[in-house]
Amino acid sequence: MGGFFGVASEKDCVFDLFFGTDYHSHLGTRRAGMAVYDREDGFAKAIHKIENAPFRTKFDKEATSMHGSYGIGSISDFEPQPIMVHSHHGTFAVTTVGKINNVDELEKEILEHNSHFFVMSNGNINPTELVAALINQKENFIEGIRYALSVIDGSLSLLVLTERGIYAGRDAQGRTPIVIGKKDGAYCAAFESCAFANLGYSMVRELKPGEIVVFDEKSFNSLYCPENPRMKICTFLWIYYGYPSSSYEGISVEKMRYRCGEALAHRDHIKPDIVVGVPDSGTAHAIGYSNAAGIPFSRPLIKYTPTWPRSFMPTMQQNRDLIAKMKLIAVPDLIKGMSMVVIDDSIVRGTQLRETAEFLFQSGATEVHVRPACPPLLFGCKYLNFSRSKSEMELIARRVIAELEGTEDVSKEVLKEYSNPDSERYNKMVDRICQKLNFTTLRYHRLDDMVAAVGIDPDKLCTYCWNGEE
Ligand code: SF4
């Protein structure tokens, strides 16, 4: 994933840029960057790895050495950015969030016009550089950004820093959000609205799908807004990776998670002693469940927050599981002799939740009933660069389906049946997952309940990773 923040201010913008970008740290774990424009000194840029130290530590020096009135910052799970280029548009910097599936096709098209690309250390071209090259194909920024948003297969939201202000363009299907904020003498744009309050910004509005705006320290203007765009905002924003204090399409993440937990409780007939949320993203769902079921919420698993402020995820599988386990510390007195319902945001590979359940049993739990806050994940996300799983066959639901069907090559129709909670195939799959992970019982959220918990028109929500519908 990734996130960004941009600010235009009549004063120096770096303080706001530094903290505004830092408030997106939960969205990425690999690279971060800031680019600024100062009327006297021009452009400056810094990029650091944030794999082993948080953004604030890595950019401590730049927070005092950089200066300028306009700036954009990025948190990224993939490519180093912002990218700074010089073209017929002048010098500009760009940062992006999304995933480009047709890189080869677009690259070929651009190379026909005698351009070139730098390659990253893995040999791939930097997708954000590709976006800069697409913007350069057209006469001006508006047309260039429109072009980039329209030719990309996948998703793309972006910020472009120029000498005259900052352009923001939201993905054509609104897969990821952009929200505009304002305070005296400054405007900003963010992925997460939670970045506003402590910096003194109030929300102006969210961009529409495909909308392009420009802002400087004095004003904010919409430059292009498609009529009746097809909205498909990512539902996983509310379920898992969005920040609890943010809202998207006017829907609070934290409140949605309470409703999600409530709906899980309403379908349940078990009466365990306690309700447990796997920190952090399972917690709010568990509070909702606990309130609706009238069963006490308890914290037998507590995240060691002083040095685990964010989701540090090394890429090696062995370390990944080990580290995920090490950041949670148990409270044995709250586990011994207890039956519990354990709520996590989702089950991806299942390894971590299996180990958590195993640990709870070893610590004296009598029953561990697992209730993920979303349906089984059956399809890999095509729209966002998630680092959580690399291939669909890493998803436990797909591995179990392959076992049950005797092949990994399963048709769309059969997968569709597995996504239907009223089908026999679905029940067999859930039983097998429960067996494999050694839970007392397992019951996933239903897609219709989860979508109702968001509360916007279901047609406007992307649910591809659960039902394969585009
Ligand atoms: S496929 Fe899933 S994770 Fe990807 S955008 Fe859609 S809802 Fe979000």
Cross-strand partners of 436? none
pLDDT tens digits, residue range 8-23?
999 999 999 999 999 9
Q: How far apart are CA 235 and CA 459, in angstroms?
A: 11
Rg (CA), the chain: 23
235 close to ligand 1 (CB < 6 Angstrom): yes
Report the pLDDT averaged over residues 41-64.
Answer: 94
The rounded mean pLDDT for the chain is 94
237 close to ligand 1 (CB < 6 Angstrom): no
**Strands 212-215, 220-224: pairing kind:** antiparallel
CA of 386, closest atom in ligand 1: 3
> How far does the centroid of ligand 1 lie from the alpha carbon of residue 382, in Å?
7
Q: What does pTM read for this prediction?
A: 0.94
Give nearest CA residue, ligand 1 atom 4: 381
Which CATH number does 2-231 carry? 3.60.20.10
> How far does the centroid of ligand 1 lie from the alpha carbon of residue 463, in Å?
6
pLDDT of 307 above 70: no
**Which of 173, 383, 447 for a ligand 1 pocket mutation test, highest count of atoms within 8 Å of Cβ?**
383
Given the structure tokens 């070893």, which residue do they identify? 362
The token pair at 361 is 């049993």
383 close to ligand 1 (CB < 6 Angstrom): yes
**Which of 153, 176, 235, 241 for a ligand 1 pocket mutation test, highest count of atoms within 8 Å of Cβ?**
235
Report the pLDDT averaged over residues 456-466.
Answer: 97
Which secondary-structure segment (H or E) carries 151?
Answer: helix 141-151
Q: Which of 80, 144, 149 is nearest to 118 (CA)?
A: 80
CA of 175, closest atom in ligand 1: 5
> How far does the centroid of ligand 1 lie from the alpha carbon of residue 374, in Å?
12
Report the pLDDT averaged over residues 321-338.
Answer: 83
> How far does the centroid of ligand 1 lie from the alpha carbon of residue 246, in Å?
18
> How far does the centroid of ligand 1 lie from the alpha carbon of residue 379, in Å?
9
pLDDT of 243 above 80: yes
Confidence of residue 113 (pLDDT cuts 50, 70, 90): confident
The token pair at 146 is 């429109």
Give nearest CA residue, ligand 1 atom 5: 234
462 close to ligand 1 (CB < 6 Angstrom): yes
Confidence of residue 51 (pLDDT cuts 50, 70, 90): confident
454 close to ligand 1 (CB < 6 Angstrom): no
> How far does the centroid of ligand 1 lie from the alpha carbon of residue 459, in Å?
14
The token pair at 425 is 């195939």
346 close to ligand 1 (CB < 6 Angstrom): no
Q: What's the topology of domain 247-467?
A: Rossmann fold (3.40.50)
* Distances in whole angstroms, Cα of residue 17 to Cα of each of 4, 23, 74, 197, 212: 10, 10, 10, 14, 21
pLDDT tens digits, residue range 162-199?
999 999 999 999 999 999 999 999 999 999 999 999 99
Is residue 120 left, alpha or beta, with left meaning phi > 0 and alpha meaning psi from -120 to 50?
Answer: beta
The token pair at 423 is 């089908």
- Per-domain residue ranges for the chain? 2-231, 247-467
pLDDT of 277 above 70: yes
pLDDT of res. 417:
97
- The DSSP letter of residue 459 is G
381 close to ligand 1 (CB < 6 Angstrom): yes
Confidence of residue 292 (pLDDT cuts 50, 70, 90): very high
> How far does the centroid of ligand 1 lie from the alpha carbon of residue 274, in Å?
31
pLDDT tens digits, residue range 353-387?
999 999 999 999 999 999 999 999 999 999 998 76
* Distances in whole angstroms, Cα of residue 292 to Cα of each of 272, 281, 289: 13, 18, 5
What percent of the chain shows pLDDT beyond 90?
A: 86
Pairwise pLDDT comparison (440 vs 53), residue with the higher score: 440
pLDDT tens digits, residue range 70-85?
999 999 999 999 999 9
**Residues 6 or more apart from 357 whose CB is under 8 A from it?**
342, 368, 370, 437, 438, 439
Q: How far apart are CA 294 and CA 449, in angstroms?
A: 20
